[in-house]
Amino acid sequence: MANIKVLVGSTYGNAQQVAEDCAEQLNGLGHNTVVLAEPKLEEVVADDTEVLLVCTATIGLGEIPNNLMPLYSQLKDQAPQLSEKRYGLISLGDSGYQNFANAGKLMDELLQELQVQRVGETLEIDACETPDPEEAASEWISAWAAQL
Ligand SMILES: Cc1cc2nc3c(=O)[nH]c(=O)nc-3n(C[C@H](O)[C@H](O)[C@H](O)COP(=O)(O)O)c2cc1C
């Protein structure tokens, strides 16, 4: 069973809700999961953080939400050594916008640069096609958790 930190990027609450549901599901499977609504660098680099689950929406013109941006910038600037850690990624967006799910793509690129090991493929949830993002995430989490 893993210590999992859920890193939330949310402006209007959708990604936050998905993150909380995922955490409940993961804890039900026996993992120790904490949702970080304003994730801090110290919490990410901590030795007892084994797995990161990024759950972010995209805002503005393809940007990372304000609550996740400080962590993104710090990780980019400080480039900590994170190759022992693993991550998964849930990316919410709306294909009616030009830069669909771009915040998830930016987080994915950054975590790859930092050599964090990705578990599974990114789940992209398009608000145009998916009326119930929690349900989509729940199915994905079942498969993802089986790979941890
Ligand atoms: C002002 C605004 C800008 C947005 N820009 C984008 C975008 O560039 N790309 C995208 O895929 N989705 C974009 N979205 C859609 C959001 O990512 C989507 O609605 C998401 O579910 C919001 O999640 P949140 O409630 O956690 O903030 C935008 C939404 C708003 C309201």
What local confidence, expressed as pLDDT, does residue 64 receive? 98
What local confidence, expressed as pLDDT, does residue 118 receive? 98
What local confidence, expressed as pLDDT, does residue 122 receive? 98
- Tell me if 17 CB under 6 Å of ligand 1: no
Half-sphere exposure of 41 (CA within 13 A, CB side): 13
Q: How far is the CA of 15 from the centre of ligand 1 (A)?
A: 10
- Tell me if 127 CB under 6 Å of ligand 1: yes
What local confidence, expressed as pLDDT, does residue 26 receive? 98
| CATH architecture of structural domain 3-145 | 3-Layer(aba) Sandwich (3.40)
What local confidence, expressed as pLDDT, does residue 46 receive? 97
| Contact assessment for residue 71 and residue 42, using Cβ atoms and an 8 Å cutoff | no
Determine the residue type at 2.
Answer: A
147's CB contacts (< 8 A; 6+ apart) are 119, 120
What local confidence, expressed as pLDDT, does residue 114 receive? 98
What local confidence, expressed as pLDDT, does residue 21 receive? 98
Residue 51: φ, ψ to 5°: -135, 135
What local confidence, expressed as pLDDT, does residue 123 receive? 98
CA dist., res. 55 & res. 20, Å (int): 10
What local confidence, expressed as pLDDT, does residue 16 receive? 98
Q: How far is the CA of 60 from the centre of ligand 1 (A)?
A: 7
Ranges of residues in the chain with a pLDDT under 50 are none
Q: How far is the CA of 71 from the centre of ligand 1 (A)?
A: 19
Torsion-angle region of residue 30: left (phi > 0), alpha (psi -120 to 50) or beta? left
What local confidence, expressed as pLDDT, does residue 116 receive? 98
